[in-house]
A and B are shown apart, each in its own frame.
Chain A
């Protein structure tokens, strides 16, 4: 048995009936990371030794009595989620040596469950990007083809899950940063409704869009990890007070009568033919499973993308104002005075994409352009929400591709920012409207690269999309049929 092939719910079983110890599991993952990290480059900080030590302690505890369901289960964490005593770099030179003095609320929740942190995972700098190529430290590679990107910005998280280097991981999603890499790497990525999961301790990119969520091997694990991280937090005033749910209870393996809307604009221009084909097969599968499918018009994708980049960059330009080289982060070595210190530290500490977005954000907020861009974008935000509201009066779930293409070649888009932005066209509207969205694999193309399907739900209706995803997954059994090959083409 290869321990690292197992899902978390399978690991739980084996822990419970004493087939495995936490040490066995952790050791298997540490070994796997040793083998695969040179190819995949998913980690910014590895915590193998610490993890093994903690696993031994936990096994001792297990001998002497009852432990929780997730005690001793390892996990990987995106490197923009604060971990006390362990570096949180956001894959930026700016935070290369930053050690958070506190844990993010989601990390506290993992610690309360006595889970084991295997390390911090690579990402696009400050979560700005769709390929993880904008990391200051390294380029993560796609386990299905090492010449391709893993997607981004949670590329380290998705690649590590796909490569069995962690059993599951946390990512963050501002415009698709969980769902798109999950799609590129053939794993399951869930962006929860805005306000379901606390953002306290998530280094802010665009505060009105950011949300933390699970990246997992299957839908059941996704529901379990959501159970752990969801919930109101007084430290995040945008988190919603609501009753605690058990999302695994929603997984019924039944979609009879479920109303699925398919917006035709998401299947038009720019969508790769093989992606379209697989999505059409998925729609057919849903029909066979008894769901009611209807095509409809949701003509917001192109407005959404422009709106997204205006709002996200505007918020980023403000959020990233705090990095000034005074209290933490990079400080330039040479400067004339305080102002010069700010300017040089920021210019040397941020990478080109981050600077580009700060400049764009500052531009759209500056006097003379505020009305034409920022205010207009906020109105479009209302339009997008209204259109989704209308759609959810008719449908339970909206089905789209997660990304217009499969994972692209490393280096093919990194010099063309606008082309990179266009890769987010299917995912951003979900963040703009604050809705939940899940990406699950629905097949592979001719070159054996995974294709992702996105299911969007109404606010706080995670149960509906999780059940729809689960039912599909049980039918097509993607993980049994397709595996990453770590192949490398000659360069």
Chain B
């Protein structure tokens, strides 16, 4: 399975990751290795089999739509990389 540099960079962009120029060859080689190996799934005898999404039977689980208030805001904001006035601070998004 040949993966091009452009393809790798496109995938990285989709995943919000940056890959440095000096890492590209390594990532490409790893990805090709793994995909070549993973290709074996295409030889598996799965004609006509349905897909399985989870390990348990898929069924909806409902609960009552009740409001529960989480009051411990301080413990949430304690993890914020940047905060102001008890809110998460992010860079300006509207020019």
Q: Which residues of A pack against B, CB within 8 Å?
A: 84, 97-99, 101, 194-195, 208-209, 234, 237-238, 240, 302-303, 305-307, 309-310, 317, 321, 324-331, 335, 337-339, 341-344, 346-347, 350, 355-356, 358-364, 366, 372-373, 375-383, 385-386, 417-418, 421, 431-434
Q: What chain A residues lie within 8 Å of B27 (beta carbons)?
A: 356, 359
Q: What chain A residues lie within 8 Å of B61 (beta carbons)?
A: 237
Given contacts A379-B44, A382-B52, contact A362 B14 (CB under 8 A): yes
Chain A residue at minimal CB-CB distance from B45? A383
| Overall SS of chain A's interface | helix
Closest 8 CB pairs of A and B: A434-B55, A331-B81, A328-B79, A378-B51, A194-B55, A101-B75, A379-B46, A237-B61
A-B contact pairs, 20 of them (CB 8 A): A101-B79, A303-B40, A303-B41, A306-B37, A306-B38, A306-B41, A310-B38, A325-B81, A329-B81, A337-B91, A347-B18, A359-B8, A359-B27, A360-B31, A364-B38, A373-B38, A373-B41, A379-B52, A383-B49, A385-B52
Chain B residue at minimal CB-CB distance from A95? B79
Chain B residue at minimal CB-CB distance from A320? B15
Given contacts A237-B61, A326-B90, A378-B52, contact A307 B41 (CB under 8 A): yes
CA distance A33 to B13 in the complex (A): 44
Q: Is B84 an interface residue (CB 8 A)?
A: no
Q: Is B67 an interface residue (CB 8 A)?
A: no
Q: Which of B3, B18, B33, B80 contacts A328 (CB 8 A)?
A: B80
A343 engages B53 (CB within 8 Å): no
A382 engages B30 (CB within 8 Å): no
**Count of B interface residues, CB-CB < 8 Å:** 48
CA distance A350 to B31 in the complex (A): 17
A302 engages B40 (CB within 8 Å): yes
Chain B residue at minimal CB-CB distance from A307? B41
Q: Is B86 an interface residue (CB 8 A)?
A: no
Q: What chain A residues lie within 8 Å of B92 (beta carbons)?
A: 337
Report the minimum CB–CB distance from A332 to chain B (whole Å): 9
Report the minimum CB–CB distance from B38 to chain A (whole Å): 4
- Contact string against A for B residues 3-23, beta-carbon threshold 8 Å, 1 for contact and 0 otherwise: 100001001101111110000
A379 engages B50 (CB within 8 Å): yes
Q: What chain A residues lie within 8 Å of B14 (beta carbons)?
A: 362, 366
CA distance A324 to B88 in the complex (A): 13
CA distance A327 to B17 in the complex (A): 18
CA distance A328 to B8 in the complex (A): 28
Further 16 A-B residue pairs, CB within 8 A, beyond A237-B61, A362-B15: A195-B55, A208-B53, A303-B44, A309-B34, A335-B91, A338-B91, A344-B18, A346-B15, A347-B19, A359-B17, A362-B11, A363-B11, A379-B44, A379-B50, A434-B55, A434-B56
